[in-house]
Amino acid sequence: MQGRIVAAIRKIPRGKVATYGSVARAAGHPGAARQVVGVLRRSFGLAWHRVLGAGGQIKLRGESGMEQRFRLEAEGVLFRGRRVDMKRHEFKFPRERDRSGNKEERQA
């Protein structure tokens, strides 16, 4: 599970963001948003600042939250109040293909 979550996080390009839940779904583990948080805490060298709470909200508190916002703004990410402008900056993970070559439907 950890390897797939790390691979999903590494796909998020500069200037884009994803939610904990969307990273979990992209890794093949829908509903595992808390495990994404755990992987981010244990892993080094990941773009941790590109992963946010639902709706583009920074969930970290204090200086960590301020650092996350600073890093995102340095990448050109715009905020609407306390949330990232998700319409502009949300990264859409590509859909997985099943064995027949058809795109699998993801359940929301």
Residues 6+ apart with CB under 8 A from 36: 5, 9, 20, 21, 23, 24, 27, 51
Residue 104 domain-assigned (yes or no): no
* pTM of the predicted structure, to 2 decimals: 0.85
Task: Establish if 97 belongs to a structural domain.
Answer: no
Question: Does residue 59 belong to any structural domain of this protein?
Answer: yes
Q: CA-to-CA distance for 21 and 62, rounded, in angstroms?
A: 23
Quote the number of domains for the chain: 1
Residue ranges of the chain with per-residue pLDDT less than 70: 96-108
What is the structure's pLDDT at 87?
Answer: 96
Q: Establish if 106 belongs to a structural domain.
A: no
Residue 71 lies in a domain: yes
Domain range spanning residue 23?
2-89
Residue 34 lies in a domain: yes
Q: What is the pLDDT of residue 85?
A: 96
- Give the pLDDT score at 108: 42
| CATH number (domain holding residue 50) | 1.10.10.10
